[in-house]
């Protein structure tokens, strides 16, 4: 397996733990904006320490501040705001389903911006992913408002834009610094909507949320985008909900239906397809 695809798979696996940590954090009555704020804050501390001590570099940069401001606004603030609002006015299943329209947007944006070819196996893999996510999401209630449909699609679009902006960012900059500056600006945008106190019992889970799906997940993904097309990376990254439902089954005893298993198989099959066919091409 090419290193870039392995990094995408590992990053998506880290993102798959997000729901586990969130489940524990919500038990302490922490609202969504506050959870994301502390997630980003702790991730910044971890990332800044890593860059300073292990990479022996300054995590801050004064270059392209406008780019990181846009990146933080779109990839952190807008994405999470749209996602949680969609959950609020519809359901978790519906919101998750529309988040994973991101690969379709990534294929289009990859073609328009990076001239990535739209070839047969990408189209097949994209269809497999969309069908797989629909099955994995389970019994989704499609009786939602037009606003929920609009915000859900916008969530998928901003998720796709994260990868596009990351692709630009890591061209001439260390991926860790790109992530640090993006999270820093995202934190500024989140602060006015967040509470600055959380129960002590929630702190270990917030640290886990910051370390695994944030620090590790996004660092690995940013590194992967130095080697993998943004459209292919977005398709492979849809293994995230597969990891999430398996962890929910193991840790919380949640039901795992044959249709969800079939959906997971389709998603994994799509990931294998885009990896294997790229080598032949």
Averaged pLDDT score across all residues of the chain: 92
pLDDT, one tens digit per residue, over 198-245 is: 999 999 999 999 999 999 999 999 999 999 999 999 999 999 999 988
**What pLDDT sits at residue 97?**
87
What's the confidence (pLDDT) of residue 277? Answer: 61
Indicate if the pLDDT at residue 186 is higher than 60. yes
pLDDT over threshold 70, residue 279: no
User: Max Cα separation, the chain?
Assistant: 53
For 9-52, write each residue's pLDDT tens digit.
999 999 999 888 988 998 999 988 899 999 999 999 999 999 99
How much is the pLDDT for 263? 94
pLDDT in tens, 86-110: 988 988 788 888 999 999 999 999 9
Q: Say how many domains are in the chain.
A: 1
pLDDT band, residue 84 (cuts 50/70/90): confident
Closest CA relative to residue 114, chosen from 277, 228, 276: 228
Query: At a CB cut-off of 8 Å and minimum separation 6, what does 205 contact?
Result: 21, 24, 25
The answer on pLDDT for 182 being more than 80 is yes
Neighbours of 281 (CB within 10 A): 8
The answer to whether residue 1 scores a pLDDT higher than 60 is: no
From residue 28, how far is each of 17, 93, 195, 220, 262 by CA, in Å?
18, 23, 14, 30, 35
| Domain housing 218 | 3-280
pLDDT tens digits for range 136-181: 987 777 888 999 999 999 999 999 999 999 999 999 999 999 999 9
Distances (CA, A) of 216 to 10, 35, 208, 254: 9, 18, 11, 26
Sign of the dihedral through C-alpha 52, 57, 58, 60: negative
Instruction: Check whether 281 has a pLDDT greater than 60.
Output: no
Write a three-state SS string for the chain: CCHHHHHHHHHHHHHCCHHHHHHHHHCCCCCHHHHHHHHHHHHHHHHHHHHHHCCCCCCCCCCCHHHHHHHHHHHHHHHHHHHHHHHHHCCHHHHHHHHCCHHHHHHHHHHHHHCCCCCHHHHHHHHHHHHHHHHHCCCCCCCCCHHHHHHHHHHHHHHHHHHHHHHHHCCCCCHHHHHHHHHHHHHHHHHHHCCCCCCHHHHHHHHHHHHHHHHHHHHHHHHHCCCCCHHHHHHHHHHHHHHHHHHHHHHHCCCCCHHHHHHHHHHHHHHHHHHHHHHHC
* Closest by Cα among 272, 250, 238 to 12: 238
- Asked if the model's pLDDT at residue 7 lies above 90, the reply is yes
Q: Judge whether residue 255 has pLDDT over 90.
A: no
Residue 72: which pLDDT band, with cuts at 50, 70 and 90? very high
CA 83 – CA 85 distance, rounded (Å): 5
What is the predicted pLDDT for the residue at 41? 97
Contact, 107 vs 118, CB < 8 A? Answer: yes
Q: Which residue has the higher pLDDT, 129 or 139?
A: 129
pLDDT band at 269 (very low <50, low <70, confident <90, very high): very high
Position 280 pLDDT exceeds 60? no
Please say whether the beta carbons of 51 and 57 come within 8 A.
Answer: yes
């Amino acid at each position: 397996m090419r290193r870039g695809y392995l990094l995408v798979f590992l990053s998506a696996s880290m993102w798959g733990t997000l729901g586990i940590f969130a489940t524990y954090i919500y038990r302490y009555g922490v609202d969504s904006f506050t959870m994301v704020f502390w997630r980003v804050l702790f991730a910044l501390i971890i990332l800044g320490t890593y860059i300073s001590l292990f990479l022996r570099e300054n995590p801050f940069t004064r270059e392209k501040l406008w780019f990181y401001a846009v990146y933080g606004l779109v990839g952190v603030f807008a994405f999470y705001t749209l996602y949680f609002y969609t959950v609020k006015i519809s359901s978790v299943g519906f919101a998750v389903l529309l988040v994973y329209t991101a690969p379709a947007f990534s294929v289009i944006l990859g073609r328009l911006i990076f001239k990535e070819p739209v070839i047969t196996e990408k189209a097949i893999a994209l269809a497999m992913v969309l069908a797989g996510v629909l099955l994995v999401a389970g019994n989704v209630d499609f009786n939602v408002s037009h606003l929920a449909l609009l915000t859900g699609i916008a969530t998928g679009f901003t998720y796709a834009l994260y990868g596009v902006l990351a692709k630009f960012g890591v061209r001439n900059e260390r991926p860790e610094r790109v992530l640090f500056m993006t999270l820093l600006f995202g934190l500024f945008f989140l602060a006015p909507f967040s509470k600055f106190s959380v129960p002590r019992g929630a702190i270990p889970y917030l640290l886990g949320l910051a370390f695994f799906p944030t620090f590790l997940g996004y660092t690995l993904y940013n590194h992967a985008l130095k080697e993998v097309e943004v459209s292919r990376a977005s398709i492979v990254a849809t293994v995230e909900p597969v990891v999430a439902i398996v962890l929910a089954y193991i840790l919380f005893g949640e039901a795992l239906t044959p249709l969800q298993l079939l959906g997971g198989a389709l998603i994994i099959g799509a990931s294998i397809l885009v990896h294997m066919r790229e080598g032949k091409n």
